[in-house]
Amino acid sequence: MQDEAAFRVSTSNALHGLSTGLSEVSALSHSHANKSVLDSITDSHVSRWEEAYTAAMNHNERVGVNEGVFERFKTEILYDM
């Protein structure tokens, strides 16, 4: 059975090796010449989706308000009859 100090050293070395390996893989996976261009395209698409979502939500809120106004006028008209 290993003593605690040896276990800590072994675990530390294993984690350091894993961290180094992950850093190397990450660096290799993003090493293309046009990364900045691709990132800007991705950012543009994300921004456009967010704008579309916001516009859709604003439209839904306006429709809800308009439906409420319509219902109120319909009630008033029926009441006046």
Task: Return the pLDDT at 64.
Answer: 64
Report how far apart, in Å, the C-alpha atoms of 45 and of each of 29, 35, 36, 39, 56 are: 22, 15, 14, 10, 16
Cα dihedral sign, 37-41-42-47? positive
pLDDT string in tens for the chain (81-residue length): 558 777 788 888 888 888 888 777 776 666 678 878 877 777 777 888 888 888 887 776 666 666 677 677 777 777 766
